[in-house]
Chain A
C-alpha cells in the first residue's frame, strides 16, 4: 500500500483526485498518535499530511490563531504561552495511552475531539474552532467559517469536522479561538468522600460562580479534586468560596494539581495496564449511580461527572455491551477509546445510532465524501 506525503494543500488535492480515479480509500494521518482510536481500517493507501505544518498567523489581541492542520500542539502551545494565552479546550494527548506516543497535532486533536479538564470552564474543541480549509471527497479545496470570533455566515461546518475522525474531509488549515492563560491555579482536595457525596459536591461547585477549571472524582483515596484559576487575589477569593461550599469537609491544597488533571485527561493511569479503556459521557447528576453500577474498580470522573473514564477487562464483549446500554439508559453514551483491533471491530468505538439518525449521518458524510474515500468505517461500519 502506498504512503503518500503531502506538504501543501495542492498535494492533498492531487492525492484525493488520484484516490477518486483509482477508487482507493485513504487513511489520513498526521503524526499518527491516534491511529488506534476508532474502528480498524482495512489496508489502504496512507495520506500522510504531517508535512502540512506550521503556524500561519497568530494575533493575540484578536484571540485568533491559524495553523496548518498538522502543526504540533506543542508548537502552538509554546507560541501562545509567549503571549500569555492558551488553547481553551485543553488539548490532551492520547498517544501514550494508545501505544503510539508522539506529538499530537492540531488536526488530530480536532478530529478526535481531545479535550481535557479545562473544558468545563472554557468549552470543548468545537467551541473554539472558528473555521478551516480542507479538501473534500470531490477533490475540491474549500473553506468554511471565518477567522473572527463572531460569525454566522453560512452553515457552521467548522463544528461538524470536530470529532468527525477525518471521515468528512482532509483538513489543511484550522483557525481557532484562544483564551487568556490564567496566572495561577490552585487545586483543593477532599479525601474519604463516597462517590455520591463527592459528585454532589462537585456539582455544587460547578453551579457556583467560581468557574472551576477542573472538577474530578478519583476512587483512589475516595478523593474529590477541585481546581480554580485566576490572578492571585481572585484565587484567594475563589478558594474561600470553595471552602464555604465544602464547609462540611476537610479541604487540603494539592501540590501538583495541573499535572494531576493532565494525567486524568490523557488516561495516564491506563498506560501500563491491559484494560479496554472507555470514556462514558453522562448527565453529571447520573455519574454516581453509574459508577456504582459498574463492575470495574479502575475508573475516575471528570467534568463534575460529565465524563467517566472506565477500564474494563480486556476483550470482554458482554461487559462492553452492558456498559453501552447502561450509558444509554442514563442519558449518555460510551466511547471505546482503547482496545485491540478485533474488539473495536466487534463493538465499535462509537455507540451505534438509532436508525433515523444513522441515516442522516450517512447522508451528511456522503455530502462531503460520496465515495467513502476518507477513513472509511472508522466511525461506523457503514460510514
Chain B
C-alpha cells in the first residue's frame, strides 16, 4: 500500500495552522512532535503517520469553526473517535488536521417516551447502554471494542457486533444525526420521527467512513432488554455439518441473538489458554445465544438443540447457570489472545460470504494455507456469514509478512468470488481500498465517488481512504498485529 507523501507546503505552515486552531479551541490543540506521536495510527498499526496537527473540540460550534478554517486554509480533515478502527479509517496524514471528537462525550438526552438516546459523537458505545440499563433498555449494536469505541466512529464505520443478525448494524439503530459538512455548515438528518422525510441521506452517512461529514450528534434507538438469554454450544466432527446446522436453524424460522463458529485450531488454542470446556475432538463449534421472552426462548433453545443433534453434533450442551454461560463466552472472547500465543504476529481478516459457501471457503483457505505455508484459524459470525480468519506468522522471518498479506488478499478475493463482500464490519479504510476493484467495476466506483463529491467537492475529508488511487495495484487487506503487541491489546476484538 502506497500512501502519498505529505504536501511539504502545508507541513511548512504547521505553526500557523496550529495557531489558527488554537484561536478556536484554546485548550485543545496538539502540535508538538511528541504529542502527535500518540495519534499516529488507529488500531491498524501497520500504517503510521503523525498528523499535521491534532485538534480536540468540545462543542459542535467549535467543530464548525474548525471545518470552516480548514476549508479556507485548504487543509484536509481526518476525523477520529477513539482510534479503534481496524481498517485504518482514522489513520492520520502528515498534511491534514486530525479532528479528535473524544471530548464531545456528553449524553444530551435520554428520551424513553420516544425510545431513543441523543448523544455526542465521543460517547462510547457501552456508555449508551450503561445510561439506560437501569430502566431495562440497551443499545443493540455491540462491536467487540464497545468499551472504548465511540458512537461517532460507530456511525462512520456502520459498526456491527455479535448481535447483527437479529438486531442489525449501527445503521438499523440510528435514527438521526446532526452532521457538519465540509466548510462547517451543519444539517440535521432524521430524528425522533420515523423515516427520512426526503432522500435518505442518513442511510448513506452511516458507514461513509468519515468521507462525507462529521457527526456532531446522534439519535440512537434503544430497545427493551430481553428478559431471558440462554447459551448453548454444539461440537461437530465435520465443518459442513455445522454449516448445515446454521442453515437449518434459520430455515426453521429461528433467528438466534448470536451464532458464532470456531474451527478446530481455534478451539484447541482457547482450550489451552483458558479452558472454557469446549469439545477438543470437534472440527467446528457453534456458540449460540437465544434471547427474548421466556417461553419463546425455551422453545427455540429446545428446537436448536434438536436441530444440532439431527445435523450431526456429537456434543450439545446448554449452559446450566450464569457461571457456565460466562465460561462458554470467555472462550469466544479470548480467541484472539489465545491465537496470539501461537505466533508473534497475526493478520485479522473481515469478509462476508453466503453461509452456504462456508465448507468450500474453509477448504480453499486450508489449501491456501498450505501453499503460503502459513497457519490460520477461523472465527465466524455464522448467522450473518461474516468471516474473521486469523493468519499466523512471524514478521522476523524473511518474506513471511508479504506471504501473510498475499494470503489475506487471496481470502478476501475468494469471499467476493463466492458471492460475498470485502468487509462485513471493519470497513474499507486504507486497508482494503486497493481491493475495491475486486468487488466493484469502474462504473460502480465512479458512482460512489460522485456521491463523495456531492458532499465534499474539495475532497478534503479523510483523503486516501476507501477508494483506490489510479496508480495503486491490488494489495492486501488485513489487520496487522506487530510482534504480539497489538494496539489497544486490552480490548476484545472482532
When C-beta atoms are compared, the residue in chain B nearest to A61 turns out to be B247
* Bound form: Cα–Cα A126–B248 in Å: 27
Q: Shortest CB–CB separation between residue A362 and chain B, in angstroms?
A: 9
Ranked 6 nearest A-B pairs via Cβ: A159-B203, A234-B296, A180-B253, A283-B192, A332-B193, A61-B247
Chain B contacts for A164, CB-based, 8 A: 199-200
A361 to B450, CA, bound (A): 13
Stretch at the interface among A135-143, A257-265, A338-346: A135-143
| Chain B residues whose C-beta falls within 8 Å of the C-beta of A209 in the assembled complex | 224-227, 292-293
User: Once the chains bind, are B208 and A379 in contact (CB under 8 Å)?
Assistant: no
Interface assignment of A363: CB less than 8 Å from any CB of chain B: yes
**Residues of B143-182 contacting chain A, CB below 8 A:** 157-158, 160, 164-165, 168-169, 171-172, 181
B448 touches which of A84, A113, A154 (Cβ 8 Å) = A154
Inter-chain CA distance A124–B175, complex, in Å, is 12
Q: Are B295 and A140 neighbours in the complex by a CB distance under 8 Å? A: no
Determine if A356 and B443 form an interchain contact, defined as CB atoms under 8 angstroms apart.
Answer: no
15 A-B pairs with C-beta separation under 8 A: A146-B420, A149-B384, A152-B424, A159-B171, A160-B199, A162-B203, A163-B200, A209-B226, A209-B293, A233-B296, A237-B295, A281-B193, A331-B191, A335-B197, A364-B201
Cβ < 8 Å to A, chain B residues 355-377: 355-356
Q: Give the distance in Å from the alpha carbon of A331 to the alpha carbon of B113 in the complex.
A: 14
**A179 / chain B contacts, CB cutoff of 8 Å:** 255
A284 interfacial by beta-carbon distance below 8 Å: yes
| A351 CB–B CB distance under 8 Å | yes
Known contacts A179-B255, A231-B296; decide if A307 and B194 are in contact (CB<8 Å).
yes
Q: How far is the CA of A230 from the CA of B292 in the complex (A)?
A: 11
Chain B residue nearest in CB terms to A238: B293
List CB contacts (< 8 Å) of B30-85 with chain A: none
Beyond A285-B113, A333-B193, is A180–B255 a contact (Cβ under 8 Å)?
Answer: yes
Residue B261 interfacial (CB < 8 Å): no
A363 (CB) vs chain B CBs: closest residue: B454
Contacts of B197 in A (CB 8 A): 281, 333, 335, 350-351
* B354 and A59 contacting across the interface, CB-CB below 8 Å: yes
For B384, the chain A residues whose CB sits under 8 A away are 148-150
| A22→B452 CA distance, assembly (Å) | 28
Instruction: Determine if A56 is an interface residue (Cβ-Cβ < 8 Å).
Output: no
A353 to B194 alpha-carbon distance, docked (Å): 16
| Contact present for A146 and B352 (CB under 8 Å) | yes
Contacting residues, chain B, for A127 (C-beta < 8 A):
168, 171-172
CB neighbours of A180 from chain B (8 A):
250, 253-255
**In the complex, what's the smallest C-beta–C-beta distance from A120 to chain B, in angstroms?**
9
- The answer to whether A207 touches B137 (Cβ under 8 A) is yes
In the complex, how many angstroms separate the beta carbon of A223 from the nearest chain B beta carbon?
22
State the CA gap A160–B186 with chains docked (Å).
20
A206 to B207, CA, bound (A): 28
Q: Which residues of A, 269-309, contact B by the 8 Å Cβ criterion?
A: 281-285, 303, 306-307
Q: Mark A220-231, 1 if CB is under 8 A from B, else 0.
A: 000000000011
Within 8 A of B (CB), among A189-209: 203, 206-209
Is A246 in the interface zone, CB < 8 Å from B? no
Which of A33-41, A70-78, A100-108, A365-373 faces chain B? A365-373
Q: Which B residues contact A (CB, under 8 angstroms)?
A: 111-115, 137, 157-158, 160, 164-165, 168-169, 171-172, 181, 185-189, 191-204, 206-208, 224-227, 247-248, 250-251, 253-255, 292-296, 299, 352-356, 381, 384-386, 419-428, 432, 436, 439-441, 443-448, 450-455, 466
| Residue in chain A with minimal CB distance to B137 | A207
Is B439's CB under 8 angstroms from A153's CB? Answer: yes
- In the complex, are the beta carbons of A153 and B419 less than 8 A apart? no
Given A154-B436, A365-B199, A148 and B353 contact (CB-CB distance below 8 Å): yes
**Known pairs A149-B164, A183-B253, A283-B114 / 6 extra A-B pairs, C-beta < 8 Å:** A150-B169, A150-B386, A153-B423, A153-B428, A153-B439, A234-B293
Which one, B112, B247, B253, contacts A84 given CB within 8 A?
B253
Residues of A within 8 A of B293 (CB): 209-210, 234, 237-238, 241
Number of A residues, CB within 8 Å of B: 87
Distance of B180 from chain A, by nearest CB (Å): 11
Contacts of A60 in B (CB 8 A): 250-251
Residues of B within 8 A of A59 (CB): 354, 356
Across the interface, which residues of B come within 8 angstroms of A168, CB to CB?
199
Q: How far is the CA of A168 from the CA of B452 in the complex (A)?
A: 15
Q: Is the CB of A124 within 8 A of B421?
A: no
How far does the Cβ of B172 sit from chain A's closest Cβ, in whole Å? 5
The answer to whether B250 touches A61, judged by C-beta atoms less than 8 angstroms apart, is yes
Q: Is the CB of B455 within 8 A of A360?
A: yes
Q: Which of A62, A211, A281 contacts B355 (CB 8 A)?
A: A62
Instruction: Name A134's closest neighbour in chain B (CB-CB).
Output: B447
Asked if residues A368 and B447 are in contact (CB atoms below 8 Å), the reply is yes
Q: Which A residues touch B203, using CB under 8 A?
A: 126, 156, 159-160, 162
CB distance A153 to B422 under 8 Å? yes
Check A234/B224 contact, CB under 8 A, given A144-B447, A281-B197.
Answer: no
User: Which residues on B sit within 8 Å (CB–CB) of A62?
Assistant: 354-356, 385
Given contacts A350-B198, A353-B198, contact A181 B253 (CB under 8 A): yes
Contact B446 A152 (CB under 8 A): no
Residue of A nearest to B438 (CB): A153
A339 to chain B, nearest CB (A): 18
B27: shortest Cβ distance to chain A, in Å? 30
Which one of A136, A142, A150 lies within 8 Å of B424 (CB-CB)? A150
- A150, A168, A285, A379 pick with most chain B CB within 10 angstroms: A150
Cβ contact within 8 Å between B292 and A148: no
C-alpha spacing A283/B227, complex, angstroms: 26
Contacts of B168 in A (CB 8 A): 123, 127
Task: Indicate which residue in A142, A206, A284 contacts B444 across the interface (CB closer than 8 Å).
Answer: A142
Q: What residue of chain A has the Cβ atom nearest to residue B452's Cβ?
A: A155
A157 within 8 A of B: yes
CA distance A113 to B200 in the complex (A): 10
B295 x A234 contact (CB < 8 A)? yes
A180's nearest neighbour on chain B, judged by CB, is B253
Provide the residues of chain A in CB contact with B428, threshold 8 Å: 152-154
Does A151 belong to the interface (CB within 8 Å)? yes
| Chain B residue contacts of A366, Cβ below 8 A | 454
- A67: Cβ under 8 A from any B Cβ: no
CB pair B181 A203 closer than 8 Å: no
Report chain B residues within 8 Å CB of A113: 195
Bound state CA distance, A153 and B186, in angstroms?
26
Residues from chain B with a CB closer than 8 A to the CB of A307 are 194
Interchain CB contact under 8 A, A233 and B299: yes
Q: Are B420 and A148 in contact (CB under 8 A)?
A: yes
CA distance A156 to B248 in the complex (A): 30
Chain A residues whose CB sits within 8 angstroms of the CB of B208 once the complex forms:
155-156
| Distance A327 CA – B56 CA, assembled complex (angstroms) | 37
Q: Which residues of A contact B206 (CB under 8 A)?
A: 156, 159
| Distance of B365 from chain A, by nearest CB (Å) | 18
Given A152-B169, A332-B193, the answer on whether A356 and B444 have CB atoms closer than 8 Å is no
Verify if A63 is at the interface (C-beta below 8 Å from B).
yes
- CA gap between A307 and B353 in the complex, in Å: 37
Chain B residues near A337 (CB-CB < 8 A) = none
- Which partner residue on chain A sits nearest B385 by CB separation? A148
From residue B198, how far is it (CB to closest CB) to chain A in Å? Answer: 6
- Bound-state Cα–Cα, A60 to B246, Å: 12
Chain A residues in 8 Å Cβ range of B356: 59, 61-62
Chain B residues with CB under 8 A of A64: 354
- In the docked arrangement, what's the CA distance between A153 and B386, Å? 13
Residues of chain A with a CB closer than 8 A to B169's CB: 150, 152
B299/A303 in contact, CB under 8 A: no
Most interface-central of A183, A354, A364 (chain B CB within 10 A): A364
